[in-house]
Structure 1
Amino acid sequence: MGYIEDAVSSFSGWIWGVPLLILVMGGGLIFMLYSRFLPFKYLGHAINVLRGKYDTHEEEGQITHYEALSTALAATVGMGNISGVAVAITMGGPGAIFWMWVSAFVGMATKFFTCTLSVMYRGKDSEGEVRGGPMYVITEGLGKKWKPMAVFFCVFTLIGALPIFQANQLTAAMNAVLGPTVGYNTEATFSLFGAPVGIASFITGLILMALVSMVIFGGIKRISSVAAKLVPSMVVLYFGLVIYILLQNIGGIPDIFASIFEEAFSGSAILGGGIGAVIIVGAKRAAFSNEAGIGTAPMVHGDTKTEEPVREGLVAMLGPAIDTLLVCTLTALVILGTGVHHEFIGAADTGLLGVTLTLKAFNAAIPGVGGYLLGLCILVFAVSSLLSYSYYGVKSVSYLFGAKKGELYNYVYIGTIILGAVASLGFVVNLIDGSFALMAIPTMVSALILAPKVMQATKSYFARHKAGEFKKH
């Protein structure tokens, strides 16, 4: 297993080099400048679209704008914001948060372009259902000769969509929160294929398998329905806890922001130093947090009931603002404000910390109950994320082998929940990072080529909007 972990780590470090950084962040900057910030001027209109003010029942698609954003956010506003921020800080120091912000800001433009395209160039699966996503954007927008790139995207989505990170961090949280309380030994192991496996982690994985199975076999409509109910409540609960903690240290917040800006351009906190390393850490964690440019969100937004592609692009654009600029920032302020991160940043003798670092911060800020309250948030966050990610894999299998075989992915999916529960955090993070990088290549390349089509549709849409063609319901 050690050789596999080393190989995955080496590949993840190599693929997330300067070329991919230019493609993802540079591509987002191109989208922003090319659009002349036009979509950003209509955030109010985007919120009205999200609220269903322009919805009609006759339009093609399977889910509403709100359900699409909720499903996409269920995959991003979750462990990426609680655990991913902690990973970013331990890997790159406070400065990594600044580069997460930069990635999110340009990611808003990326989401607008990629999700507009996912509706503009929708295709049909083997059962005749209207579907969207990068694979259809590539074949419908660029032509059948580009299909190998669409297949490339789907193949690596099958890995990137695995639930191993969510399962890993939820298991770590449950062990940390419940272990001391109920008195079970989280260190106890048994041997499986010659490797030690934690008994407590294995049991948590089995329970997660059962919970997720009850929902994901119902398809996107059931997933989106559950996500639409879970996401708002979990965000409100988490916000309440974070704001309570921040009010205790409100005087120190300016200093926290100062450290973020200072270390963003020094790289002094990261092992080995270097601003380039800090930027890469921030970009990788932002990609995991909001998935802008990766291609997962367009698969959900492409299934929305709308005949106006630009509307879905506007709704999707709200995602990075919510999950990275807002939720990730609040999490970072809690961790940095409590100071629990100091002993771990850049230390060669400590392992990569995720949710356990965030738990330390909450326990420090709210002694006695902080860990339990965060544990409840983590449970809801992780389960909702697990539901959304399954759909990405199902859709990729459906594209590759036919709609009737799409559900087969769910059996693989729930099986790997146990793998995530017992694997090391470093292996899990590197495997997902490497897969996301490979998914981003076809997503960003196709979006950059088809960007003029998006601008044509955007100008037409806003001209009709100004002319009063669209009526609110």
Structure 2
Amino acid sequence: MLLDILNQIDSIVWGPWLLVLLVGTGIWLTFRLTLLQVVKLPRALKLIFFARNKGEGDIDSFKALCTALAATVGTGNIVGVATAIKLGGPGALFWMWLAAFFGMATKYAEGCLAVKYRQVDDNGNIAGGPMYYIEMGLGKKWKPLAVLFAFFGCMVALLGSGTTTQMNAIISSVEAGFGISTYITCAVITVLVAIITFGGLQSIAKAAEKIVPAMAVIYFVITVIFLALNAGGLPGAISQVFTGAFSGTAAAGGFAGAGVMLAMRSGIARGLFSNESGLGSAPIVAAAAKTKWPAEQGLISMTGTFIDTIIICTLTGLTIIVSGQWLGDTNGAELTQNAFAVTYGGFAPILLTVSLALFAFTTILGWNYYGERCWEYLFGTKSILFYRVLFLVILASAAFLKLESIWALADIVNGLMAIPNLIALLGLTGVIVAETKKYFEHLEIRDAKLKAYKARRIGKR
């Protein structure tokens, strides 16, 4: 009964209206920022490694990006992509790309505002995110909206993306892949998370800086080798993506058939769920980056959506389509595993288990921090220790919980997080545009001075 009610609420929250609002905000910001996600993408990718990291902040920009990616690159990149293609056919991948394209503008705006309105808490640490740019940017009268965002953020961290669903993904995949007891895995993961998270953001960022690039490279290599060995099927797979996006997918084998609207809805929903553009989670850690230019961190944050969806989700999607396994009876992680098995055979479960475990573990770390910042906003710095203990207790109990209702609740509060954040992005668009203009004018002046200096040096010779 409870599950049915939650599923009905979930279908309302994640209905077409929210998808339109999420994508519509991205389209609006893309227009106002004059295709910044295309024009400035090379600079953004360069900044990942060469940002100057000057200015106030707790961690450098690369660590901030890795921590954000730790939370976004998760089970959605493996399970979510498989589910989208199973429901909507290969065309769902195209709509995933479209959501990511406009989502990059949204993620840029979130990172920009996070630095613009960040504060220093009572412990001397940077505090920022939607709750701060709602209150400081839109004004004190909007504080109830900021409180709502922080409340939903705590709910997602404690009951959804941060704990139970990720732990369940790890323990079930490890048990299936290696036969290790659910309780042993749960205990080990809880201890590891405790060791890392009690060290605060610095500890989480250091772990993310090492794990995220490693897991991304491992998964990239696995999928690229698969696609290279099955290169003959790539042209047909890409063709299916584009034709399926606009004509739907005809019934074939065990596949029930999917129309254009289903491909669109499943692709956009799963794409946004994976990269979290517009949900307001990533700007919480973006605020802690060492930079004095909000727009600079916005550019770096924007690359998170590019890496998560345009690269990682695409590799998963093409692997599933090329394998032809999406036409079978399996779904979710099992579908992705069967796709890998086409080339890797008996090694597929091991490869997928390692990838899934790493993805889910880093998501736990990232969402632990997001939840902590939201909790601190609501209850103050003195309550942080209580939050950390509560987080670990819920994480450790994941193996004993029936997760169906919790998954539905997590999906609901995840969607509800987006609403206050999107209102702030639309209300503060003028600030975003102004900060963007200020930053690029600064770069033009700096480059002109550098050019003049080099010219003088050459003249003296």
TM norm structure 1: 0.88
- What does residue 185 of structure 1 align with? none
- What does residue 341 of structure 1 align with? 326
Q: In the alignment, does 2:88 pair up with 1:92? A: yes
- Residue 104 of structure 1 contacts residue 321 of structure 1 at CA under 8 Å; is this kept in 2? yes
Alignment partners' CA distance in 2, 1:423 and 1:338: 35
- What does residue 307 of structure 2 align with? 322
Residue identity matched to 2:199: G
> Given the superposition, is the C-alpha separation of residues 426 and 34 from structure 1 closer, same or farther in structure 2, using an over 3 Å criterion?
farther
Alignment partners' CA distance in 1, 2:76 and 2:436: 31
> What is the deviation of 1:256?
1.2
- Residue 87 of structure 2 contacts residue 262 of structure 2 at CA under 8 Å; is this kept in 1? no
- What does residue 312 of structure 1 align with? 297
Q: How many residues align?
A: 442
User: Which of 39, 42, 62 is matched with 1:41 structurally?
Assistant: 39
Residue identity matched to 1:225: K
- What does residue 172 of structure 1 align with? 172
Alignment partners' CA distance in 1, 2:213 and 2:7: 35
Q: In the alignment, does 2:272 pair up with 1:287? A: yes
> What is the deviation of 1:460?
1.4
Residue identity matched to 2:165: F
Higher alpha-carbon deviation: 407-416 or 25-34: 407-416
Higher alpha-carbon deviation: 404-413 or 234-243: 404-413
- Residue 394 of structure 1 contacts residue 408 of structure 1 at CA under 8 Å; is this kept in 2? no
- What does residue 391 of structure 1 align with? 369
- Residue 107 of structure 1 contacts residue 293 of structure 1 at CA under 8 Å; is this kept in 2? yes
Alignment partners' CA distance in 2, 1:288 and 1:251: 31
Q: In the alignment, does 2:236 pair up with 1:255? A: yes
> What is the deviation of 1:419?
5.2
Q: In the alignment, does 2:390 pair up with 1:412? A: yes
- What does residue 205 of structure 1 align with? 186
Alignment partners' CA distance in 2, 1:107 and 1:465: 25
Q: In the alignment, does 2:346 pair up with 1:371? A: no
Higher alpha-carbon deviation: 414-423 or 371-380: 414-423
SS at match of 2:382: helix
- Residue 176 of structure 1 contacts residue 356 of structure 1 at CA under 8 Å; is this kept in 2? no
CA-based RMSD of the aligned residues comes to 2.2
Residue deviations 1:88-113 (CA, integer Å, cap 9, x gap)? 22333322222111111100000011
Higher alpha-carbon deviation: 67-76 or 201-210: 201-210
> What is the deviation of 1:426?
5.5
Alignment partners' CA distance in 1, 2:129 and 2:97: 25
Residue deviations 1:295-323 (CA, integer Å, cap 9, x gap)? 00000101111111000000001011111
Q: What residue ranges of structure 1 are gaps of 5+ in the alignment?
A: 183-199, 346-352
Residue deviations 1:336-359 (CA, integer Å, cap 9, x gap)? 2222221237xxxxxxx3222222
- Residue 89 of structure 2 contacts residue 258 of structure 2 at CA under 8 Å; is this kept in 1? no
Q: What residue ranges of structure 2 are gaps of 5+ in the alignment?
A: 451-461
Higher alpha-carbon deviation: 37-46 or 266-275: 266-275
SS at match of 1:265: helix
Alignment partners' CA distance in 2, 1:114 and 1:214: 30
- Residue 169 of structure 1 contacts residue 354 of structure 1 at CA under 8 Å; is this kept in 2? no
Residue deviations 1:252-271 (CA, integer Å, cap 9, x gap)? 11111222222223444686
Residue identity matched to 1:49: L
Alignment partners' CA distance in 1, 2:245 and 2:408: 22
- What does residue 163 of structure 1 align with? 163
Higher alpha-carbon deviation: 229-238 or 167-176: 167-176
- What does residue 132 of structure 1 align with? 128
> Given the superposition, is the C-alpha separation of residues 166 and 267 from structure 1 closer, same or farther in structure 2, using an over 3 Å criterion?
farther
Residue identity matched to 1:114: E
> What is the deviation of 1:401?
0.3
Aligned-pair identity in percent equals 38
Residue identity matched to 1:368: G
> What is the deviation of 1:370?
2.4
TM norm structure 2: 0.90
- Residue 173 of structure 1 contacts residue 359 of structure 1 at CA under 8 Å; is this kept in 2? no
Residue identity matched to 2:168: N
Q: In the alignment, does 2:287 pair up with 1:302? A: yes
Residue identity matched to 1:399: Y
Q: In the alignment, does 2:244 pair up with 1:246? A: no
Higher alpha-carbon deviation: 458-467 or 120-129: 120-129
- What does residue 196 of structure 1 align with? none
Q: In the alignment, does 2:360 pair up with 1:382? A: yes
- What does residue 457 of structure 1 align with? 435
